[in-house]
Amino acid sequence: MVALGLLLTFLGFLISFLSVALTSSMTGRLVITLIGLAISLFGVIGVLNRAYLKNAIWKR
Amino acid sequence: MKNMLRILVLSLIAFGAVAQTPASSASTRTAPITNSDLKNIDIPKADARAKGDPDGSLTGTAADVSVADSKKGMTIGDVVNQVGQNKVAINFVWTLVAGFLVMFMQAGFAIVETGLCRAKNANHTMMMNFMVYGVGMLAYWLIGFGLQMGGVGGIANLGGAVPLSSEFTINLFGKPFGLFGQHGLFLTQGGTYDVAVMVVFLFQMVFMDTALTIVTGSAAERWKYAAFVASSFIMGAFTYPLFANWAWGGGWLANLGANFGLGKGYCDFAGSGVVHAVGGLSALALAIIVGPRLGKFNRDGKPNAIIGHDIVLVLTGCFILAFGWFGFNPGSTLGASGNGSLRIGSIAVNTMLAGMAGSFGAMFYMWTRYGKPDASMTGNGLLAGLVAITAPSGFVNSISSVIIGLVAGVLVCLSVEFVERKMKVDDPVGAISVHGANGIWGVISVGLFADGKSNYGGSWNGVTGSVTGLFYGDAGQLVAQLIGVCTLIGFVFVLSFALNLAIDAIIGQRVSAKAELEGLDLPEMGALGYPEFELKPGAVRA
């Protein structure tokens, strides 16, 4: 899950990075970048951090 | 009586207009200065100087202009050279003094973090903040500076810094993407034993160290000292310089404007993203890896407040940081003369206004929500406002600065609650929220509030014109800023996380439970921070 979280977070960056090549429309770039940002945030908060919380020290 | 007054006023206006006329016509009749004119300039006689110069009128005259050939005497060339050297000298001194102010911020960070931690960890927390300066500087001198600035390609305000001219670049989508610099290792490689390069190094080094010291806050009270040294070295050598190159060193983010028409490219005037978000996101990575302190969360996940031991240190540290920020933001013009550098006044005022608004935002939020104006969060609100204004400080007006600071002050409180209650990540000093969340807010706010009035030599990041945000008509600037934010979260965070996972596997990031309960001063440092005090256990409040 940790690896998946890192991959998702990185994927979000790649998507926003590629926005400059995928379209020349400013609105299109904005939307693609926001999608990439959402994926990155989900990777960090929804997947990576949650994986660490499963074995959190305060649950033991 | 009224008529007399009217006549008097009209006469004064007319006199003013007449009095100005000869001056303006004289300026149009100015003849070129020749070398012979220079020979007729009066210079103070030696016997006059020998009597002293109490009003300063005899010091700093034509006698002080360096002459290349004493037989020829002073020439136009000598004067012009002196003017050029004066400009660069002003900018050198400005940038160096600003760098010294930023260096002193280390002291502010040290006492803020130590005050927010428990007394049993005072030596350990201070020692991390003290040695992050040395560890970071070593890494930056050996590797980091070259990677970051080795290809910046000239800094006009500092006389060029010409040897920093080699950027490693790849071609993607038919455009060059700068990835890292190749000159400046050890401050000698690639001809970088150069006066201007030294100024750039000092200024950039203290910025890098600011980013590194942010991390020590989020991992405080349970971070193994050896792991701290390794982690800080790697961050100073690789993580920070890579992103800083992309934003400030001639890398691909800065060129999003020139290559893809996105505003003026990614714009981060003094480092909300480069310094604070990089530090804040690395702090988040560390805090997740090391886990929360013992007693921070109950078995049901409910958080407990672990109270710091000295609020006096905390707020004094916040003031020291606010003072140092006058080096951070105005200093980022890298000069006080030429290329729009006179905007330093506006930048300094924006900085202080945003800090003020941030402290108000946090204080009123806490007062309204919890019934008391919490001191540590008000201090964090000041810092949040300063962090947020760091990127836009050179591009926005004073009203926008106050809005940006106010939002930052509230955002830091919301973010602290989110990080603690929803993510269940333990951040003893609020570094993730102050620097990470507000660093990102600062980057975005450039894309919203930049008013297009700044003019630093007619262009920014190689694109003609002034940086202009969405509210002033350029949506492309916001897209460039958002791509920068995605790079921070999706690349810098991931890189930092992966590198610190490796350190965790090799050295181990977290101290033993026994050492943590005892306090890290003796187990990790071998000496107590307060040896003559008897410390009470159990400073945990539900």
What tens digit of pLDDT does each residue of B30-77 get? 778 888 888 888 888 889 889 999 999 999 999 899 999 988 889 999
Cβ neighbours of residue A4 under 8 Å, at least 6 residues apart?
A: A47, A51
Whether residue B340 is predicted with pLDDT greater than 70 in this model: the reply is yes
- Is the distance from CB of B444 to CB of B482 less than 8 angstroms? yes
Tens digits of residue pLDDT in B408-465 = 999 999 999 999 999 999 999 999 999 999 999 999 999 999 999 999 989 999 999 9
Cβ neighbours of residue B68 under 8 Å, at least 6 residues apart?
A: B75, B77, B78, B81
Quick one: CA dihedral B34, B35, B36, B42, positive or negative? Answer: positive
Q: Which of A17, A21, A58 sits opposite B292 (nearest CB)?
A: A58
CA-based nearest distance B265→chain A, Å = 12
- Is the distance from CB of B332 to CB of B394 less than 8 angstroms? yes
CA-based nearest distance B537→chain A, Å = 19
State pTM to two decimals: 0.92
Within a 10 A sphere around the Cβ of B206, how many other Cβ atoms? 27
- Mean pLDDT confidence for B299-303: 94
Q: Which residues pair with B306 in a beta bridge?
A: B540
Whether residue B24 is predicted with pLDDT greater than 50 in this model: the reply is no
- Please report, for residues B15, B29, B32, the alpha-carbon distance to residue B37 in angstroms, rounded to integers and kept in the order given: 33, 16, 10
Q: State whether residue A23 sits within 8 Å of chain B by CB.
A: no
Confidence label for B1 from pLDDT (cuts 50, 70 and 90): very low
Which residues on chain B are in Cβ contact (under 8 Å) with A53?
424
Which site among A1, A33, A48 would you substitute to test the B interface, given the most B Cβ atoms closer than 10 Å to its Cβ? A33
pLDDT in tens, chain A (60 residues): 999 999 999 999 999 999 999 999 999 999 999 999 999 999 999 999 999 999 898 887
Confidence label for B28 from pLDDT (cuts 50, 70 and 90): low
- Is the distance from CB of B450 to CB of B239 less than 8 angstroms? no
Mean of pLDDT over chain B: 92
- The DSSP call for residue B224 is -
Cβ neighbours of residue B422 under 8 Å, at least 6 residues apart?
A: A45
- Mean pLDDT confidence for B264-277: 97
What distance in Å separates the CA atoms of residue B169 and residue B147, rounded to the nearest whole number? 12
Contact A30 B297 (CB under 8 A): no
pLDDT at res. B141: 98
- Is the distance from CB of B119 to CB of B530 less than 8 angstroms? yes
Angle at B47 between CA B45 and CA B51, to 5 degrees: 115
Tens digits of residue pLDDT in B98-128 = 999 999 999 999 999 999 999 999 999 999 9
Q: State whether residue A36 sits within 8 Å of chain B by CB.
A: yes
| Torsional class of B460: left (φ above 0), alpha (ψ -120 to 50), beta (otherwise) | beta
pLDDT at res. B538: 57
With CA atoms as reference, the chain B residue closest to A43 would be: B490
Which site among B298, B489, B510 would you substitute to test the A interface, given the most A Cβ atoms closer than 10 Å to its Cβ? B489
Whether residue B146 is predicted with pLDDT greater than 50 in this model: the reply is yes
Percentage of chain B exceeding pLDDT 70: 94
Which residues on chain B are in Cβ contact (under 8 Å) with A11?
490
Confidence label for B6 from pLDDT (cuts 50, 70 and 90): low
Among B416, B126, B383, B428, which residue's Cα sits nearest to residue B287? Answer: B428
Among B44, B224, B42, B210, which residue's Cα sits nearest to residue B132? Answer: B210
Whether residue B171 is predicted with pLDDT greater than 70 in this model: the reply is yes
- Is the distance from CB of B475 to CB of A30 less than 8 angstroms? yes
B241 alpha carbon, distance to own chain's centre:
14
Contact B494 A9 (CB under 8 A): yes
Q: At what angle do helices B398-417 and B344-370 cross, to 10 degrees?
A: 40
Which residues on chain B are in Cβ contact (under 8 Å) with A56?
291-292, 297, 424
Among B450, B186, B456, B465, which residue's Cα sits nearest to residue B334? Answer: B456
Burial code of B154-189, b = ≥16 C-beta within 10 A, e = fewer? Answer: ebebbbbbebbbbbebeeeeebebbbbbbbbbebee
Confidence label for B378 from pLDDT (cuts 50, 70 and 90): very high
- Is the distance from CB of B247 to CB of B273 less than 8 angstroms? yes
DSSP 3-state assignment of B40? coil
Within a 10 A sphere around the Cβ of B538, how many other Cβ atoms? 6
Confidence label for B157 from pLDDT (cuts 50, 70 and 90): very high
pLDDT at res. B16: 46
pLDDT at res. B15: 45
What distance in Å separates the CA atoms of residue A22 and residue A33, rounded to the nearest whole number? 11
CA-based nearest distance A41→chain B, Å = 8
With CA atoms as reference, the chain B residue closest to A6 would be: B494
